[in-house]
Amino acid sequence: MLSDTDTAPVDATPASTLGVTEEDVRRIVREEVQRAFAKDPAARKAAIVASKGTLDWAYPPLILANAAAAVGMDVSVFFTFYGLNIIHKDFAKKLKIDPVGNPAMPMPVHIPDIVSSLPGMVPMASAMMRSKFAKRNVATIGELLQSAREAGVRLVACQMTVDVFGYTPDDFVDGVRFAGAAAFMAEARRAHVTMFI
């Protein structure tokens, strides 16, 4: 009998000598994941709401949607209010970052709010952010949208907001669907992962 301070002997025999290959282990894990998904299909669903339309807030919903799709989840992103900028055909022009009231934004030197509110600061801050991302090989918004579409992520524009802002379906990138909040809620209530960004 082992005391509290004793440890049980560990079998250090490699799996390959036990007749279990790496492929066997991978197959077993795949089967277990499939059984878990079959028991609870909602575990495979993610519903994300994108409500902000600035460059820095465009990345989180797209990165998370792509990551969820990459691990085999069924993903829907509902773009509402200013989040529509992310899926607008002119997203490259519409997605900007404003340094005013954004104290967490890293700047090369400290810039007082009064200076950051001067004309030209928004384009400068937006260019700086894009440059930082490019230097670190971060995908662009266009690349993230494309990979999301290729992965089967549903990009859903809020029909009410589209109407309020006077947009038409032609104003959006290819592959965007249109639905109301109630339709999206029907999707979201069947998802284990729900996020509001």
Distance, CA of 165 to CA of 181 (rounded, Å):
16
For the chain, give the percent of residues with pLDDT over 70. 78
**Banded model confidence at residue 2, pLDDT cuts 50, 70, 90:** very low
Decide if 150 is inside a domain. Answer: yes
Q: What is the CATH number of the domain that holds 75?
A: 3.40.1260.10
CB 148 within 8 Å of CB 69: yes
In angstroms, the CA 75 to CA 69 distance is 6
CA distance between the termini of the chain: 55
In terms of Cβ atoms closer than 10 Å to its own Cβ (0-12, 13-18, 19+), residue 165 is middle
Look at residue 189 and tell me if it is in a domain.
yes
Neighbours of 128 (CB within 10 A): 16
- In one letter, which amino acid is 114? I
Return the half-sphere exposure (C-beta side, CA atoms, 13 A cut-off) of residue 30: 7
Residue 144 within any structural domain of the chain: yes
> Which residues span the domain enclosing 178?
22-97+140-196
For the whole model, what pTM was predicted? 0.73
Q: Which amino acid is at 65?
A: A
Domain for residue 164, yes or no? yes
Q: State the pLDDT confidence band at 41, using cuts at 50, 70 and 90.
A: low
- 129 domain residue, yes or no: no
125 in a structural domain: no
**Per-residue burial over 48-73, b = 16 or more CB atoms within 10 Å of its CB, e = otherwise:** bbbbbbbbbbbbebbebbbebbeeeb
Could you tell me if residue 15 is inside a domain? no
Q: How many domains does the chain have?
A: 1
Residue 111 lies in a domain: no
Coil/strand/helix, residue 49: strand
pLDDT in tens, 81-127: 999 999 999 998 999 887 776 666 666 666 666 565 667 677 777 78
pLDDT above 80: residue 195: yes
- pLDDT tens across 114-141, in order? 565 667 677 777 788 888 888 989 999 9
pLDDT per position as a tens digit, 140-175: 999 999 999 999 999 999 999 999 999 999 999 999
Six-digit token string for 143: 């690349």
157, 74 in Cβ contact below 8 A? no
